[in-house]
Amino acid sequence: MPNDEKNNENDVEVIKSSEFFDLFLVECAFKRSLLDSEDIELKSYLEAYEELCKFCQLMGSVFTFVCSEIRSKMDILIELRKNDKDCNFSSMKSMVKYEEESNLLADAQYVSGCRTFLRLHRGLDFLRKFLQRVGELQSHENTNNVGQEVYKDTLGKYHPWLVRKGAAMAMYVLPTREVLLKRVCGENSDSALECLPSMLEATNEVYNRTEAYFQFKNLLNLP
């Protein structure tokens, strides 16, 4: 790529700003997804997740296990929405209503939107807590312990032993907060830190709405 620069001290490659992770885009998309009656609009939700997926990609092989899981689940919801002529997949609640009333959650042959959304919800828990903990670190502090701890408390609870072992080993090489932010945000790392609290506020609202509604509908433990 032409005009690439490198930070010699931290060996961080600088790429086009359009390819960096943009917390503001995540914040805006999640805010747009917040509907009345504590509902969540899926189109904007998936737009926010596109940017979160970019974050995982920029993290490289360390987050491969997260990125592949997120991407596959996003593609399922995108396809369900693409073939949705009756707006059943326009929002979280309309999706749950449709699949419950159609008895689709008990159909082993059906690729459930609710089940897929739950997997993304679990991934969101990991990402929001990881970013929050990273934001609390000093620039020189390593993020590897944070990554391992957050993974263990979130996604790790749902992964088999082999995946958990691989994830823990991969996160062992996570860099300092300064290097991590430059890797994913480039020269905008300072402004990213300023945007982080408001981005997390919107993200937490989306997470909490999902958690509350899925708990109310007894869907948090869908296999």
Tokens of 113: 């939107």
pLDDT in tens, the chain (223 residues): 444 433 433 333 333 335 899 999 999 999 999 999 999 999 999 999 999 999 999 998 888 878 888 999 999 999 999 999 999 999 999 999 999 999 999 898 999 999 999 999 999 999 999 999 999 999 999 999 999 999 999 999 998 898 888 888 888 889 999 999 999 999 888 899 999 999 999 999 999 999 999 999 999 999 8
Fold of 20-216: Glycolipid transfer protein, GLTP (1.10.3520)
pLDDT of residue 196: 96
Q: What single string gives the DSSP state of each residue in the chain?
A: -TT-EEETTTTEEE--GGGS--HHHHHHHHHHHB-GGG-BBHHHHHHHHHHHHHHHHHTGGGGHHHHHHHHHHHHHHHHHHHT-SSSTTSBHHHHHHHHHHTT-TT-TTS--HHHHHHHHHHHHHHHHHHHHHHHHS-TTSBSHHHHHHHHHHTGGGTS-HHHHHHHHHHHTT--BHHHHHHHHHGGGHHHHHHHHHHHHHHHHHHHHHHHHHHHHTT-TT--
Neighbours of 108 (CB within 10 A): 6
pLDDT of residue 27: 97
Tokens of 43: 């189109």
Residue the block writes with tokens 């931290």: 10
pLDDT of residue 101: 96
What are the sequence ranges of the domains in the chain? Answer: 20-216
pTM of the model: 0.89
